[in-house]
Amino acid sequence: MKLYDGGRAPNPRRVRVFLAEKGVDVTLVPVDLGALEHKSESFTQLNPYQQLPVMELDDGTRISETVAICRYIEETHPEPPLFGVNAVDRALVEMWQRRVEIGLFLRVAAVFRHQHPAMKDMEVPQVPDWGEANRPKVQEQFRFLNDELATRPFIAGERFTIADITCMIALDFCKPAKIDIPEELSHLHRWYDNVRARPSAAA
């Protein structure tokens, strides 16, 4: 298997962390986002959406979209389970994965993509006001998650799941987006420190 990878970009990192949790090794094929290699004709043949990551299987099948790639890995390498262990658990993991992806991850991305100077050639047009409008929404999500994490160790319950991966990388992405996580959100900070200490976080 090959993973067409974008370095520190958040979505490729989500897949790399997922693979590290599973103990699955794949060949990484670097794609230089800064040089707009994902817009090239050769990459467009891999993924017409011109987005990373893309996984190419040994039979030539190509899978794009972060969660779709992770679901394939989950099906082929079921241990440890990162999408849940039974019908109820899987539904709860899916619910929280969607909540943190839509409510936090995408909003942090909007701040970065629409306000960071490095994104001016990739986010066309940049709309700085849209980035600014998402900042208070990110803070609302921080407070919401802090309250939820007062009752359990991980985002979706008692086990580490894909929801934790998505949330961790969203919080990591706050630094380049220049978004501060309030110090008083002790439950969120406790969770964040714990997941960042996992070996997979370095992937």
Q: What domain range is 22 assigned to?
A: 2-76
**What is the reported pTM?**
0.96
Task: In whole angstroms, give the CA distance from residue 98 to residue 46.
Answer: 26
Do 46 and 122 share a domain, yes or no?
Answer: no
Residue pLDDT, tens place only, 17-42? 999 999 999 999 999 998 999 999 99
Same domain, 65 and 103: no
Element (H, E) at 126: none
Q: Which of 56, 77, 59 is nearest to 5 (CA)?
A: 56
pLDDT one-digit tens code per residue, 56-93 = 999 999 999 999 999 999 999 999 999 999 999 999 99
Q: Say yes or no: 158 and 71 in one domain.
A: no
The last residue of one of the domains, among 76, 95, 120, is 76
Is the same domain home to 93 and 172?
Answer: yes
Q: Which of 133, 141, 139, 136 is nearest to 182 (CA)?
A: 139
Alpha-carbon torsion angle 42, 109, 63, 48, nearest 10:
-40
pLDDT band, residue 121 (cuts 50/70/90)? confident
Nearest CA among 29, 71, 70, 64 for reference residue 49: 64
Residue 154, beta-bridge partner list: 157
Question: Each residue of 160-198: pLDDT tens digit?
Answer: 999 999 999 999 999 999 999 999 999 999 999 999 999
Tokens of 102: 């839509």
The answer to whether position 57 is within a domain reads: yes
3-state SS class at 56 = strand
Greater confidence (57 vs 118) lies with 57
List the one residue out of 19, 115, 83, 10 whose CA is nearest residue 52: 10
Residue 183 lies in a domain: yes
pLDDT surpasses 90 at 98: yes
Of 73, 56, 55, 50, which is closest to residue 165 (Cα–Cα)?
73
* Whether residue 41 is found in the same domain as residue 117: no
Whether residues 191 and 108 share a domain: the answer is: yes
